[in-house]
Amino acid sequence: MADPMPMTDSPITTVAPGWAIAALAMLGVLAVAAAMLDGALAARAGGGASGVTRPFGEAARLMRQRRRTTVEADRLLWRMGGAGLLVVAALMVTVVPLGEWTIFDLDVGVMWFNAMDVMVWALVWLTGWGANSAHSLVGGYRFLAHGLGYELPLMFALVAPAIAAESLNVGKVAAAQDGLWFVVWMPVAFVVYLLGVAAFSVWGPFAPALGADIAGGARAELSGVDRLVFEAGRYALLAAGAAFAVPMFLGGGAGPLLPDWAWVPVKTVALLAVLVWLRRRLPAFRPDKFMEVGWMLLLPAVLLQDLVVAVIAVWRS
Amino acid sequence: MISDIAFWGFGLVALLGGAAVFYVNSMARATYALALSFVAVGLQVLFLQQNYVGVVTILMMVMEMAIMAVYMVMFMGMNPALMPMSMVHGNRTAIAVALTTFLGLAAGILMVDWPARLGGPSSDVTMALGESLMGPKMLVMAVISPVMVATIVAGVVLAAHRTRYDRLGDDLKQRPADDPQPGGVGR
């Protein structure tokens, strides 16, 4: 039996598996930073005291909270849905190179990321389903409705950098941006990708699945640690999405003065801050209406972007 | 050694997940037992160094199972899919068919004269697989794809109970269209 996933001849080196703990820690720090920023922005919008500490207070509150139970809940699927978001976010960052190091140098890393973001469909729906509660199930279906609208544009947005780099390996995609970042000549793909990140994090305009109008939607019955893990998972997904954009669109570790490994987190933090900030700047996309926006506007736009990228890639070679 | 154990372990998960589809009493559990089974198969395919095929299997199957949840409420009247229900029916026939198929396939495996390996595997096994599957039949594939898409579109058009005359009026001039569920771009 051959070992799976042999090393590819990519410009990056694979580090020992133990470094996965460091990657997880970085993801955790990013998620907490995003929650702190969101707390600060919430406090400013509400005019209250500084909200930077809000996530810590909220975590302490949830950890002491008693777990709510519902009649005939499908506990197994419910817990898997709630806890799965964190796992998926962790699996996403395994293929993101930190400068020249990566944990998992998969030759089809871009597909891997895509497969992980599709997992969120299942997980959010399962969270909505498991509680055996009408509002929470409605929330789960709202997410699927959004998913049908955002997923294909997101997939074709990921195609653009892969075509230009002629590789699905994340390290090679980053290396292919020598001199000119992909964000410069594939802005449509970049914007659609960011929308996709917000969507699979159930964030900002894509939050109606957790809407107050349906009593909290998919997370309506989540309480205590379950809710904490679910919320942490959303922030972690947002952070993982921002981190993945760095090698895909923002030149990877390229940048002046700082070393490669430092530029990746710097760019990630900047992008993450933008995503967190956008939460209060964009209106909610109604799930029933967004479907048509996704298929009639975003999909043709991003396909056109792919065509332009493909023509340029053929012309250059 | 470890990869051997992992490979067979995933195989076991795939089999048990497949069996669980018929054992559980809820549509949701059956759906995601099937998803688990396919994820295990996808991971096994990674061990065959077909990385692209393995990851795509995981991607497509998880997405398909999520879509299944949409079908559960779209096409099942009164949503029995959301209630506990048996996942099997026609037990006698099913057992007979299953046993016959299993015995037939197992006999085939044991009786076929398997060829010995000629030469080594290609360096890019995914490319080799694609070429041996599609290579000489590319023209057929290229013709079949549009025919399949046309069939799907025609099927949806025939199944939809509303036509463009319902949406846009008898002279097709009514704007915006009269839809029970208005879309987001104001067509």
Average pLDDT on A166-180 reads 87
Interfacial residues of A (vs B; Cβ cutoff 8 Å)? 1-6, 74, 76-77, 106-108, 111-112, 114-115, 118-119, 121-122, 125-126, 129, 137, 140-141, 144, 147-148, 151, 168, 285-286, 288-293, 296-297
A275 contacts A246 by C-beta, under 8 angstroms? no
Angle, CA of A292, A298 and A299, to the nearest 5° = 90
| pLDDT of the residue at A85 | 94
Average pLDDT on A51-79 reads 88
Average pLDDT on A101-112 reads 88
Which of A251, A282, A130 minimizes the C-alpha distance to A183?
A251
Q: Could you tell me if residue A9 is inside a domain?
A: no
Name the percent of chain A lying above pLDDT 70: 95
Tell whether the torsion through CA atoms of A261, A264, A267 and A272 is positive or negative.
negative
Q: Could you tell me if residue A1 is inside a domain?
A: no
The whole domain housing A272 covers 14-316
Q: Could you tell me if residue A6 is inside a domain?
A: no
Contacts of B75 (CB under 8 A, 6+ apart): none
Task: Give the nearest chain A residue to B1 (CA atoms).
Answer: A1
Find chain B residues with C-beta within 8 A of A285's C-beta. Answer: 184
Would you call A118 and B63 a contact, using CB atoms and an 8 Å cutoff?
yes
The secondary structure of chain B as a DSSP string is -HHHHHHHHHHHHHHHHHHHHHH-S-HHHHHHHHHHHHHHHHHHHHHTT-HHHHHHHHHHHHHHHHHHHHHHHHSSTT-GGGS---S--SHHHHHHHHHHHHHHHHHHHHHS-PPPP-SPPPS-HHHHHHHHHHGGGHHHHHHHHHHHHHHHHHHHHHH-S--HHHHHTTTT--SS---SS--SS--
Would you call B3 and A4 a contact, using CB atoms and an 8 Å cutoff?
yes
Straight-line distance from the first to the last Cα atom of chain A, in angstroms, rounded to the nearest whole number: 38
Find chain A residues with C-beta within 8 A of B4's C-beta. Answer: 1
pLDDT, tens digit (0-9, with 9 covering 90-100), for A125-145: 999 998 888 899 999 999 999
Interfacial residues of B (vs A; Cβ cutoff 8 Å)? 3-4, 7, 26, 28-29, 32, 35, 46-49, 51-52, 55-56, 58-59, 62-63, 65-67, 69-70, 73, 82, 181-185, 187
Write down the H helix ranges in chain A.
Answer: 20-46, 54-64, 75-93, 109-130, 134-165, 170-175, 182-185, 187-200, 224-249, 260-278, 287-293, 299-316
Q: Could you tell me if residue A2 is inside a domain?
A: no
Contacts of B21 (CB under 8 A, 6+ apart): B30, B33, B34, B37, B87
| pLDDT of the residue at A1 | 46
Number of structural domains chain A divides into: 1
A127 contacts A140 by C-beta, under 8 angstroms? yes
Task: Give the nearest chain A residue to B3 (CA atoms).
Answer: A3
Domain borders along chain B are 1-96, 127-187
Q: Could you tell me if residue A8 is inside a domain?
A: no
B4, B5, B32: best to mutate for the A interface, most A CBs within 10 A: B32
CB pairs under 8 A between A and B: 98
Of A172-181, A228-237, B14-23, the poorest mean pLDDT is in A172-181
Residue A81 structure tokens: 């849905």
| pLDDT of the residue at A33 | 93
Whether pLDDT at A203 is above 50:
yes
d(CA B43, CA B58): 8
Average pLDDT on A102-121 reads 91
Whether pLDDT at A4 is above 90:
no
Mind telling me how many Å the CA of B180 is from chain A's nearest CA? Answer: 11
Find chain A residues with C-beta within 8 A of B3's C-beta. Answer: 1-4
pLDDT, tens digit (0-9, with 9 covering 90-100), for A251-295: 888 878 888 888 899 999 999 999 999 988 899 998 888 988 999
B93 contacts B101 by C-beta, under 8 angstroms? no
Find chain B residues with C-beta within 8 A of A1's C-beta. Answer: 3-4, 7, 47
- Please report, in tens digits, the pLDDT of each residue of chain B (187 residues total): 888 999 999 999 999 999 999 999 888 889 999 999 999 999 999 998 889 999 999 999 999 999 988 887 776 655 666 778 888 888 899 999 999 999 999 999 999 988 888 888 888 888 888 888 888 888 888 899 999 999 999 998 888 888 888 888 888 888 888 887 777 677 6
Confidence of residue A44 (pLDDT cuts 50, 70, 90): confident
More confidently predicted of A11 and B164: B164
